[in-house]
Structure 1
Amino acid sequence: MSLRLSTVILPVDRWHEGGRAKWQRAEELGFHTAYTYDHLSWRSFRDGPWFGALPTLTAAATATDRLRLGTLVTSPNFRHPVTLAKELISLDDVSGGRITLGIGAGGSGFDATALGQELWTPRERADRFAEFVPLLDRLLTEDAVSQRGTFYSAEEARDIPGCVQRPRLPFAVAATGPRGLRLAARHGQAWVTTGDPRSNEEGTPEQATEALRGQIARLGTACEEAGRDVAGLEKILLTGFTPEGSRLLDSVDAFVEFAGRHQELGFTEIVVHWPIADSDFAADQAVFEKIAAEAAAQLS
């Protein structure tokens, strides 16, 4: 299977001052999917412009024709399944069925307390995620849903006419722990990882690769327990966090070596950040576009 190449465009530009042009250029370059982060703010970008993910994707849907679009990732930190389902069905309709929902348990960043709640522990985030995903699945596939949960409930929530994509738009579940991997196996059409945080921060590229190999093995176990073939689950690597960082965008050769190594592990899609000057995602735009134009053919 050929390796898909996708990008993530952070929502830091006003739409009419460069925002729209990036999404249209992503389509011109032939990226499979263009994602954006679903945060209220993020790390070093907190004190600068940052726009909402779903309105941005709606605008991108009207500005493009073929490019798939999605979030990497949406989380329960400030979302509720009932309202999220309505917005996703609308977005899937506007895009003509080109939406993928990247979804994860969320972290402890700025979003985690933006609504005034206390910071959830990792266990609490996992508990909420375990309830959030199945309810969202139901909301996107059934016309009317009533369910009482510990954290999330729905009362005669109506989602007619449902998604353009049937039975619903695909979920790309971000997970590394056992509970999250089980959710990916049961509800995901794809699985997403950025690698292992410990090996990413302190390890070598070789150690990071072995950590990813272990994650894929555990995903296989979760799929086996769910009675599912792991080969049927797309495997997405969001780059920029492994020890190579942005250096994999230094040249076409550097990227092809990195992507080929991870393709051998079983990854079916590699996601690279659209360059942003003076940030962790700074890269040469010309080289980035050359990678987009040439790398896929070398990895088929």
Structure 2
Amino acid sequence: MDTHAPHISPQQLSVADLRSFGERFGIDYHFSLPSAAHTDLPVLRGKVEELPLSSGLHLTHSSLDVLQPYETQSTRGTAIFLLIVLEGCVRLTLSGQQYVAEAGMAITTHLDKQSTLRATHAPNQHLRTLTVALDIRPAAQTKPVRQPEDFLALAKPSTQLWHVPGHLYQSLQHWQALQPTGALQQRLLLEGLALQLLAYGLDSKPAPRPPAISPGERKRLEAVRQRLDLAPDLDYSVNQLAAQAAMSTSSFRSKFRLLFGVPVLGYLRNQRLALARQYLLQGHSVQQAAHLSGYRYTTNFATAFRKHYGVSPNRLS
């Protein structure tokens, strides 16, 4: 969820790349180990496109594979900010309030020193988002056809999490299908969609809140997470972990993802790959690292490792 980003071609983005973007575009990036310790470690793979619109709005389209968990925090004021999640899931915190935005959902708000937006991005997902922003800084206004003052009466909207109407969501998917052909058609369609989304976002009903997690459930889920952290190489079943948490399997799946931002099996995979990476850096062979981290088949491990880290495990062994 990058609120201000340049156009970049599909590529792998490292910790160093994102920190550089953050300095230029008003975003603080925070990384979990091992990302923070290795500035050349790929965090994202994909592309981000920034499209200033003639209405004075700025639109950013991101299509990214999240390879490493990371967080962002806004550091720049935005009079109107609208985030639409087209694919994946983003956990957001604004003024101490938490929100979970999944595919087909959007959040409308404004950003300033008192209202900063933190976003948590879970790994092993394809994240596709669209942001529409009104930045009233003079540097951001490049000869708009309609002056941004038209929007000032709508500035500083209250924060709302809402569902994108079905017809608009389908139109956004259609716009995506047009790429990379018909640049003018894309821009005209996107400008119209951005204005429609803004209209809905400024007059929307809040989405239903996700089910609450009680303190007892939170404590039991944290115990499960710690168990996976301490011994990711062991065999687990979702039913077994749900029983430890004293929940039904369906409730355990949904509440684990809600609390930690990633499905339980995805979390286990992440821990196994992180453990395997440590073994590789210590000089173990690929086959040894796979076995010691809980993988039965080296080929499955190598495929998962390459997808997660963007490099072959042979590069580290």
Query: Which TM bucket (shorter chain)?
Result: 0.3 to 0.5
Q: TM-score normalized by structure 2?
A: 0.32
Q: Looking at secondary structure, tell me which structure has more helix per residue.
A: 1
Task: Answer 1 or 2: higher relative contact order, Cα 8 Å, separation at least 6.
Answer: 1
User: Over alpha carbons, which structure has the higher Rg?
Assistant: 2
Q: TM-score normalized by structure 1?
A: 0.33
Q: Looking at secondary structure, tell me which structure has more strand per residue.
A: 2
